[in-house]
Structure formats: C-alpha cells, structure tokens
Amino acid sequence: QVQLVESGGGLVQAGGSLRLSCAASRGTFSTYTMGWFRQAPEKEREFVAAISWIAGRTYYTDSVKGQFTISRDNAKNSVYLQMNNLKPEDTAVYYCAATPSGRVSRASEYNYWGQGTQITVSS
C-alpha cells in the first residue's frame, strides 16, 4: 500500500512562490498517475494538476496553467508542485494523491491520499 506525505506548505505573500513535495513510501508509485488537489474552506476538493507515469504527461486545471508546474522523480518516489505568482484565491489545503486510472481530474479515481498541507496566501 502506498503512503503519501506532503511537505512545503506555509504562509506566503501574494506574488510569492512555494514548492510542494510529496513523498511516497511503502511501495513504488512509478506506475501511478500522481495528482494534486486542493480544498478551500467551505468548498469542494478540486483538481489542480496531475502527471502520468508514462512520458510524464501533465494535466492542469485552467486556473493554474502557466502558474503551477507539476513534476515527478520516480527514482525518489516523489512528485512536486511548483507554484508561482500565488494569489489569495490559491489559499487551500493541498493534497497529493495517486491513481492507476486515466481519469486524472476525478478525485474519486484516486486510491491513495496524503494528509494535506496548508497553503495560505496573504494579500
């Protein structure tokens, strides 16, 4: 069973950058598509980005295209989310997740989830 642990969250001013990391333990995740989701207070969890294990194909929700970059290092069992030009509306708990499915934007398709890391962007 894969276990995921996120790190890198925190408080940042608008316009700043953060890099989230997600480390997988207890098994390899090289055959999984890895995704990032976020959930703001009183809102549903939403898809942010994903990266496939084949050729590292990437997927983004429209609101973060050009702003966030997802990457992975299978040798380190890790996935990353580089977030630039952060805005107050990016404030949320960010979750790392893993899925064997090709439906990368659906939270229900993900088998494994991390505990989440808080990102707070001040204006």
- Angstrom distances, CA of residue 23 to CA of 40, 89, 96: 23, 26, 9
- Residue 114: predicted pLDDT: 96
Mean pLDDT, the chain cut into blocks of 10 residues (123 residues total): 90 98 79 94 96 87 97 90 97 95 92 96 96
pLDDT of the residue at 60: 98
Least Cα distance to 14 among 77, 109, 87 occurs for: 87
* Residue from 24, 30, 28, 33 nearest 3 by CA: 24
What is d(CA 37, CA 95) in angstroms, rounded to the nearest whole number? 5
Q: HEC string of 47-106?
A: EEEEECCCCCCEEECHHHCCCEEEEEEHHHCEEEEEECCCCHHHCEEEEEEEECCCCCCC
Joined tokens for residue 49 = 């980005």
* Confidence at residue 27, expressed as pLDDT on a 0 to 100 scale: 63
